[in-house]
Amino acid sequence: MLSTITSGAVYGVRSHLIEVEVDVSQGLPCFQIVGLPGSEVREARDRVKVALKNVGIKLPPVCININLSPADLPKNGTMFDLPVAVGILIALGELSQESVQDTLLLGEMGLSGELKPVKGVLPIVREAAKQGIKRCLLPEKNAWEGALTKEMESVGMSDVKEAVDYLAGKIKKKGAGREGADRLSKMLTGEEVSGQPDFAEINGQQGLKRAAEVAAAGFHNLLIIGAPGSGKTMLARRIPSILPPLSLEEGLEVSTIYSISGLLQSADSLKMTRPFLNPHHTITGRALAGGGRIPAPGVISLAHRGVLFLDELPEFKRETLDILRQPLEDKQVQIARSSGSYVYPADFMLVGAMNPCPCGFYPDRNRCRCTPYEVRRYLNRVSGPILDRMDICVEALPMQFAQIAAGGQEETSARVRERVMAARERQSVRFAGTDLHFNADMGAGEVERFCVLGKQERAYMEKMFTAMQLSARAYHRILKVARTIADLDGSEQIGKLHLAEAICYRQSDRKFWN
């Protein structure tokens, strides 16, 4: 007899529903799985056989053939254990095909029959809901994740026996509550974001904070240069708190990536706040971009919609940093493997931090003993194309000045965030009907179109261009940043004041040290 169970698998951030077809026929006893199963999928037969025996269901000596359809997609993961077990029982006539009508089954099985949590539940359930499936049977620990999708009834099962009894109608079990979903909406409205690091905790450093605000408003990448201990990391850590809160759609998108990586443990760890990732500088290219035989999302994908902070930028290997070039351009990363090509989103704000020179005290000549040559060599360690993508470059104040400036009431993240959101609103109006979202996305052509200068301002820029020896590349970057500053100011016209500030945020075209 034949049975069909609906299950699913994740491919990158996309997921597919997989039909598990089970046929049981008379013949020499056998148990095979076809349809490009990976080793962990193939091992399902041993787990299922033993688990069923241990919960008291004995399989007769029959010939069992299982096909995972569509058969041309490679299958990986342990979520097929439960569907395989249930499929066999239906094919044996223990359960009816109708009992699994419009039901999604996912779950790994232990030898005792208990159901263990699996990765990627959120995206699969979301895909299933899209295709009209109403109910899902999940391991108990994953039930909350299934319940995040509104149209789905998510039922958690502790072991395979319970699942079989439930499907047979012997026991009733209520779907997991919507606490997860309620929690979610609370998180999104910001009721539960307390405990996050806040801007108000940084004393002084007005310039640095202002630069971070501009960067957040236009989604510009930010380079912070400053002496050791000047609070570069402290500031970077607080940037997510001034970025606009994630929308529901964005939050689920981020959570999906975390789900695939197996990083969603409970509703508490659901990523509804902007991620902040700060990998150590010894990170490998694969860990950064994503990799492995079956590529797992890398750090840049985990930083999707959030902040990727690279401290001690010159210490990163050049090849590692160069990997960022394509994702910074395309906002996604593509990883090709023999099993297929995986695309992970990677739309992050890059924040880099570095010392101004090997000893960290430049331009304080009384303390800095680095030669110009050493300093230049230090900066040259950072790949040029990466520096090119840093729109805003700002110096963190050395402690001697920062301490003096400390004191007084500091602004909270919430207030800065309000201004950032207003500036973003202006950008979304401006870029309506184009592919662009933020000022940072503008290319040279778009800068000409959207950053039109008045007569006076043009004359000012011309004067500054020669006086400050700006390069053409710096010129465009300055206009982009000035556009954001004007947006923050609520002004449609870019003024002289905006341009002057933007000029001070330029990277001095590597002349920082001369």
Partner 1 sequence: MVEEREKAYLHWLYQAAGPGSRGFLRLLAPFGTAQEIYGQLGSGKLKERIAPRYAQKVAQMTAFSNGYDVEEAYAKMRERGICLVTEKETQFPERLKKIPDKPFALYYAGQLPQEDKKAVALIGARDCSEYGRYMAGEFGAAFAKAGIQVISGMARGIDGIGQTAALKEGGYSLGVLGCGVDICYPRENQALYEALLAGGGVCSEYPPGIEPRAILFPPRNRIISGFCDALLVVEAREKSGTLITVDMALEQGREVYALPGRVTDPLSGGCNRLIRQGAGLVSTPAELLEELFGKPGGAFLEKSGGREKGQQGRLVFLEGMQGELFEILDTNPLPAEELQRRYEEKYGKRTELPILFQELLELCAGGYAGQIGGSYFMRILKI
Task: State the residues that interact with partner 1 by CB under 8 A.
Answer: 204-207, 210, 225, 356, 363-366, 369-373, 376, 393-395, 397-398, 401, 404-405, 463-464, 467-468, 485, 496-498, 500-501, 503-508, 512
Supply the minimum distance, in Å, between the C-beta of residue 325 and partner 1. Answer: 24
Residue with Cβ nearer partner 1 (150 or 365): 365
Supply the minimum distance, in Å, between the C-beta of residue 361 and partner 1. Answer: 12
| CB neighbour list of residue 414: distance below 8 Å, 6 or more residues apart | none
Q: What beta strand segments (E) does 12-125 contain?
A: 14-25, 30-34, 63-69, 103-105, 108-109, 115-116
Residues 45, 50, 55, 60: is their CA dihedral positive or negative? Answer: positive
Sheet strand arrangement including 135-139: 30-34, 63-69, 14-25, 2-11, 103-105, 135-139, 153-157
Supply the minimum distance, in Å, between the C-beta of residue 397 and partner 1. Answer: 5
Supply the minimum distance, in Å, between the C-beta of residue 134 and partner 1. Answer: 57
Give the Cα separation of 262 and 241 in Å (integer): 25
Supply the minimum distance, in Å, between the C-beta of residue 281 and partner 1. Answer: 22
* Cis preceding linkage at 74, omega within 30: no
CB 167 within 8 A of CB 99: yes
| CB neighbour list of residue 314: distance below 8 Å, 6 or more residues apart | 354, 355, 378, 379, 381, 382
Residue with Cβ nearer partner 1 (306 or 495): 495
Residue with Cβ nearer partner 1 (346 or 357): 357
Residue with Cβ nearer partner 1 (166 or 465): 465
Supply the minimum distance, in Å, between the C-beta of residue 474 and partner 1. Answer: 11
What angle separates helix 121-130 from helix 248-260, to the nearest 10 degrees?
Answer: 130
Residue with Cβ nearer partner 1 (186 or 463): 463
Residue with Cβ nearer partner 1 (99 or 508): 508
Supply the minimum distance, in Å, between the C-beta of residue 486 and partner 1. Answer: 11
Buried b (16+ CB within 10 A) or exposed e, 170-208: eeeeeebeeebbebbeebbeeebbeeebbbbebebbeeb
Rg (CA), the chain: 28
Alpha carbon of residue 44 to chain centroid = 31
Tokens found for residue 8: 């699913």
Supply the minimum distance, in Å, between the C-beta of residue 238 and partner 1. Answer: 18
Residue with Cβ nearer partner 1 (203 or 265): 203
Supply the minimum distance, in Å, between the C-beta of residue 501 and partner 1. Answer: 4
Residue with Cβ nearer partner 1 (335 or 503): 503
Q: How many residues does the chain have?
A: 514
CB 398 within 8 A of CB 361: yes
Residue with Cβ nearer partner 1 (294 or 468): 468
Residue with Cβ nearer partner 1 (88 or 394): 394
Supply the minimum distance, in Å, between the C-beta of residue 373 and partner 1. Answer: 6
CB 357 within 8 A of CB 365: no
Q: How many CB atoms lie within 10 A of CB 281?
A: 15
Q: Which residue has the tokens 């040290």?
A: 513
CB 356 within 8 A of CB 364: no
Residue with Cβ nearer partner 1 (224 or 272): 224
β-bridge mates for residue 64, sequence order: 24, 31
Supply the minimum distance, in Å, between the C-beta of residue 146 and partner 1. Answer: 50
CB 88 within 8 A of CB 22: yes
